[in-house]
Structure 1
Amino acid sequence: MGDDSAVEYLARTDVVHIATEPRAGGEIVTPIWAVVVDGVPYVRSGYGTSSNWFRRARRDGRATFVDGRHRYPVAVEVVDDEATVDRVDDAYRTKYARYRGPLRGMLAPELRAFTMRVTPR
């Protein structure tokens, strides 16, 4: 699958599935939210470092998104640029507006530090 396919999947799908690898090996798939801002995908941990997927992705700098038989390997990196994180917040507000309660949690100021840029590999 090409880069465009990964970006399209993350843009069009409300609940995406991110696969990360525990130290013991194997793979764990976790449902999360993702947004795309100006063609660049982002994800955020709604539970900070309590999210196992986030810790594994940050440790490895990579993950894979899974859509049925399709797999989209990606690199991930934490974003600390305030202007970018503001735009990610806006994208979450737009894409997930109908999920008011969970969205409020995802936009909590303390969770902004757990925003990751996704780069298709």
Structure 2
Amino acid sequence: MAALDYFANTDTVRISTSLRTGGEVQTPIWAVVVEGVPYIRSGYGPDSKWYRRAHRSGRATFVDGPHRYPATIIDVADEPTLAAVDAAYRAKYAGQSGVREMVTETARDCTMRLDLA
């Protein structure tokens, strides 16, 4: 599966972030694609451990079985993009518990664009 297809078509992706002590931790999260660009955000805000690790390093790897998709993480703050990401979360995860948390101000403040390597 191509990296962009992974983000567009997989309900729950697995982000792998690096620990300061070495090693990595995989965490299941939601991701969306807007105009051919993948985005992630923390529904639990900036205190989420995976978010802090990804934000600190500016990098993460997404794991799909044997496939690994490295990415550079870029903070997003412009309103048109945030609104488009909100709409993508509402559409992709419609009817699932937790979608409401993904479009709160706290989650919007933790929106990151993924530049795939």
TM over 0.5: yes
- Which protein is richer in helix relative to its size? 1
Name the structure 2 match of 1:90.
Answer: 87
Task: Provide the C-alpha distance between the structure 2 equivalents of 1:43 and 1:108, rounded to a whole number of angstroms.
Answer: 14
Q: Is the 2:43–2:106 Cα contact (8 Å) retained in structure 1?
A: no
Offset, 1:34: 0.1
Residue 78 in structure 1 maps to residue 79 in structure 2: no
Which runs of no fewer than 5 residues in structure 2 stay unpaired? Answer: none
- TM-score calculated relative to the size of structure 2: 0.96
Task: Provide the C-alpha distance between the structure 2 equivalents of 1:84 and 1:40, rounded to a whole number of angstroms.
Answer: 11
Name the structure 1 match of 2:102.
Answer: 106
Offset, 1:98: 2.1
Task: Provide the C-alpha distance between the structure 1 equivalents of 2:58 and 2:112, rounded to a whole number of angstroms.
Answer: 10
Query: Percent of counterpart pairs with the same letter?
Result: 56
Computed over aligned residues only, the root mean square deviation of the Cα atoms, in angstroms, reads 1.1
Name the structure 1 match of 2:112.
Answer: 116
Aligned ranges 1:16-55 → 2 under 5 Å: 16-55=13-52
Write the deviation string for residues 70-105 of structure 1: whole angstroms up to 9, x where unpaired: 000000111001110000000000000020x30011
Q: Which runs of 4+ in 1 moved over 6 A?
A: none
Offset, 1:110: 2.4
Name the structure 1 match of 2:8.
Answer: 11
Offset, 1:109: 2.0
Which runs of no fewer than 5 residues in structure 1 stay unpaired? Answer: none
SS in structure 1 at match of 2:38? strand
Task: Provide the C-alpha distance between the structure 2 equivalents of 1:95 and 1:60, rounded to a whole number of angstroms.
Answer: 28
Residue identity matched to 1:19: S
- TM-score calculated relative to the size of structure 1: 0.93
Write the deviation string for residues 55-76 of structure 1: whole angstroms up to 9, x where unpaired: 1111111000000000000001
